[in-house]
Structure formats: structure tokens, C-alpha cells
Amino acid sequence: LSGWCQRLAQLDRDDPLAAFRDRFVLPEGIVYLDGNSLGALPRATADAVAAVVRAQWGQDLITSWNRHDWIGLPGRVAAALAPLLGAGPHEVAVCDSISVNLFKLLAAALALRPHRHVILAERRNFPTDLYVAQGLQELMGGRVRLRLVDRADELTAALDADTAVLMLTHVDYRTGAVHDMAGLTAAAHAAGALALWDLAHSAGALPLDLRGCAADLAVGCGYKYLNGGPGAPAFLFVAERHLRAARQPIAGWMGHARPFDFVPGYEPARGVARFQAGTPPILSLAALEVGVRLMGEADMRQVRAKSMAMGEAFLALAAERLAGHGFTPACPAEARQRGSQVSLAHPQGYAIMQALIAQGVIGDFRAPDILRFGFAPLYNRYEDVRIAVEALRRVMASGSWADPAFQVRGKVT
């Protein structure tokens, strides 16, 4: 173990991202490996939100929409986010939740492929994506059908002349497995379909190149690796080539070409602004802006390199220190095939994770048996890997996980 100690300490000393850690508020004595559920609080966020509340809303009231350009805030956050996605600023909108944005984009995709009716996806996808597709299917009757495959290697064969859109999550939320975005997008295109990517576990975690991959559509999350705060607004991407023709059904006033003309007829705004719907939530957007700009300061290649190295260290250390305790790796062995997380399976995974959290190491559990550890290279240290694995070893060696208190399922697991 002392070899590991020295090696990880050296990696921390050499870490080009080390200075970012001070830009976050992190509770004393906690190792936080759950930034893929809720990113940590950037140090600048509290003041930024307080300024919007006290100085802008409190003092300038309604005039803040112009004076502090609240009306431009969604567009500013989108423009700051675009480089992290490999997208143009005019291809990204920040609004609503992933669920609502997926609904818009699935409907848009089906309208762009009017003679096709199938949404093709994986059964193991994060469920909300499947639910949204099912909701659209129920609304549209026979005009939309969600088709699920059980294994990723069945996707290409399942693409056919009925497929309107291939809807995939880039990084699997349980295993961390990364899809080949360029390859699967090309396969979708070869079949005449569009490709829609859910970037919930990708944005702020991996370098992304939506344009280079020729992706058609994408959605993603503000509150995970972008550190935008609980329930932060989500984002969506529509490739420039579709912006003229794409229409979305939730035709709210913020997507209108001239919302303040108050005319009774809907006319979609030019470009991606038409994917906005209602009035934007300014407080939540102000928090998201801080997280996105902070992430934008980092070199995403360095972020990815550190995240891969942390994953390698975690799996190697776990193999050494947790042997015989019944864990099985539940993520790809190759770092390049994993997102910014590692996953271990264990039949008692739920209770073990609760016991580990009681030790001050926060990861999370995903049914049925996955312990998930996310790496946020801007605030996690290499040292966190050792602390986490050693805490897990103590939980297993002491049997503390068998405490009945750790078996009780909370509302949010």
C-alpha cells in the first residue's frame, strides 16, 4: 500500500489541474466520488446567485431583464457550453430538463424523417429517456414506436428503413461504457436515420466533438459534471444543418421569433432559440453559468487524462485490496472505453454503499447491484482513490455494512 501512497501523492503533486480544487467548496473530511450525480459547489456560485437575488431581482426588479440582460442569459450559458460539446454556439440551447428537451428533440427527429416511425434505443438506457419515448409513442398512437435492443452490438443490425432516430446515451450510467459516437452516428446515417445523443454523463467529463462526429441532436445535464447545482437547467444541441427545418412541439413564447410582439400566431425563432419554451429560471441559470464557465477554463484533454488515470488506479487498487470480498468489476477494463467513473458489482451493494458513506466516502448505488464511483478531475485528488478503496476495505473487513440501518432503502438511492 505504501507504494500506492507514494505514487498517488506524486500524481497529485504533478497534477496540472490541482489548482482547480480550491475553486470548489468541499466539506471537511469527505471524499466525494458522486459528481456524476450532483457536481460539487463552485466557490463563486453562492455570491453569483446572491447577486442575482439581492442586487438584481431585489433592487432592479423587472428592469433586470434588460439591465442585467436576463433575457440573454440562456444564450450566454449556451455559448459558454458549446466548446465543451464540440458544437457551435448557435447549435446549443440551455433550457428545461433533459426529459422535456428529449421530448422536443424526439418529436423534431420524427418530423425530420416523416416516413419513418421507429425510435431505436437500448433497454439498459437511463430510464427517463425510454419513458419520454414511450410518452411520445402513447401520444402519437401508431405513428411512433420505441424499439429496444438488449445489447449494444445489436444496434447496427437493428437500424432499418423504419428507423427515424437512434437514441443513445453516450456513457452508460451504470457501467460507464462509452459508445463510439462517430461510428454509431455514421451507422444511423447509412440507414437514413438521425442520431440523438444523451450526454448526461459526458459533458464536462470527456472531450466531445458533436460536429466532428456529425451528430444530429443531443441533450445533456447541467447538474452533474458541469456543477450547475441541483436540478440545474439542461441543454440541447441541434446540428446547424437541421436548424432551418427542425420544429419542436412545445411552442412556448421564448421560442417565438418576436416574443414581445405578443401576436397570436406562433412563428419559430430562427435557429436554435426555437427550442426554448417558457420563461427561463434565472436563479438556476445563474448558478449553472458559474459551473459551465469554470469547466470552460480547464483543458478537457487534461481532464480526461486524469479521469482515466484515477479509474486505472481505483481498479488496480481495488483488485489488490478488496480481493475475496465478492466484488466484480462492472465497467470496461480499458480506460478509453469508460466514462469518468468505475463500477463494481456486489450482491450487497446497497448496504455496502450506505456503510461507505457513513465512513465519509460518497459514491452511489444503482440497482440492482452496482456501486458507482465518479471522478471529477477538477476537484477530486488521486489520493481520494486510496482513501475510498481503504474505506471500502474497512467496511468489508469489519462487516459494518451488515448493520440493519444500512439495509433501509431511502427515497433517493
Site for a second copy in 36-55 (CB under 8 A): 37-38, 40-41, 45-46, 49-50, 52-54
Cis, peptide link before residue 368, omega less than 30° from 0: yes
The catalytic residue among 34, 172, 198, 384 is 198
Q: Does 103 bind a second copy (CB under 8 A)?
A: yes
Q: Please name the helix (run of DSSP H) or strand (run of DSSP E) that holds residue 90, with its range, or none.
A: none
Question: Is 223 an active-site residue?
Answer: yes
Determine the Cα angle at 174 with ends 173 and 178, to 5°.
60
> By CB under 8 A, which span of 293-301, 312-320, 345-353, 357-365 interacts with a second copy?
357-365
C-alpha–C-alpha distance, residues 273 and 234, integer Å: 14
Cβ-contact 216, 196 below 8 angstroms? yes
DSSP class of residue 52 equals I
Q: Does 257 bind a second copy (CB under 8 A)?
A: no
> By CB under 8 A, which span of 26-34, 189-197, 309-317, 378-386 interacts with a second copy?
26-34
- Name the phi and psi angles at 252, rounded to 5: -80, 170
Query: Of residues 29, 264, 324, 399, which one binds a second copy by CB under 8 A?
Result: 264
Select from 375, 341, 370, 378 the least CA-distant residue to 353.
370
Q: Does 362 bind a second copy (CB under 8 A)?
A: yes
Q: Does 245 bind a second copy (CB under 8 A)?
A: no
Sheet holding 163-169, edge to edge: 92-94, 235-238, 217-220, 194-198, 163-169, 118-122, 145-149
Query: Of residues 12, 113, 186, 253, which one binds a second copy by CB under 8 A?
Result: 253
Q: β-strand 145-149 against 118-122: which pairing, if any? A: parallel
Farthest-apart Cα atoms in the chain, separation: 71
Tell me, by CB under 8 A, how many residues bind a second copy: 96
* Closer CB to a second copy, 67 or 241, in the complex: 67
Q: How far is the CB of 404 from a second copy (least distance, A)?
A: 17
Q: How far is the CB of 53 from a second copy (least distance, A)?
A: 5
Q: How far is the CB of 6 from a second copy (least distance, A)?
A: 29
Question: Is 262 an active-site residue?
Answer: no
The catalytic residue among 174, 372, 381, 393 is 372
Q: Does 360 bind a second copy (CB under 8 A)?
A: no
Select from 158, 117, 159 the least CA-distant residue to 141.
117
Place of cell 421569433: 257
Q: Does 128 bind a second copy (CB under 8 A)?
A: yes
* Closer CB to a second copy, 311 or 374, in the complex: 374
Query: Of residues 229, 291, 311, 349, which one binds a second copy by CB under 8 A?
Result: 229
Site for a second copy in 78-97 (CB under 8 A): 96-97
Mapped onto helix, strand or coil, the DSSP state of residue 260 is helix
Q: Does 23 bind a second copy (CB under 8 A)?
A: no
Query: Of residues 169, 185, 202, 284, which one binds a second copy by CB under 8 A?
Result: 284
The catalytic residue among 24, 32, 103, 223 is 223
Cβ-contact 219, 237 below 8 angstroms? yes
- Name the phi and psi angles at 220, rounded to 5: -170, 180
Site for a second copy in 178-217 (CB under 8 A): none
C-alpha–C-alpha distance, residues 286 and 64, integer Å: 13
262: left (phi over 0), alpha (psi -120 to 50) or beta: left
* Closer CB to a second copy, 300 or 352, in the complex: 352
Cβ neighbours for 84, distance < 8 A, ≥ 6 positions apart:
203, 204, 208, 226, 292, 295, 296, 300
User: Within a 10 A sphere around the Cβ of 181, how many other Cβ atoms?
Assistant: 24
Query: Of residues 6, 10, 63, 328, which one binds a second copy by CB under 8 A?
Result: 63
Q: How far is the CB of 1 from a second copy (least distance, A)?
A: 28
> By CB under 8 A, which span of 1-9, 127-135, 176-184, 390-398 interacts with a second copy?
127-135
Question: Is 372 an active-site residue?
Answer: yes
Q: Does 254 bind a second copy (CB under 8 A)?
A: yes
Q: Does 357 bind a second copy (CB under 8 A)?
A: yes
C-alpha–C-alpha distance, residues 259 and 214, integer Å: 32
Query: Of residues 1, 5, 61, 319, which one binds a second copy by CB under 8 A?
Result: 61
Which sequence positions are flagged as catalytic? Answer: 126, 198, 223-224, 372
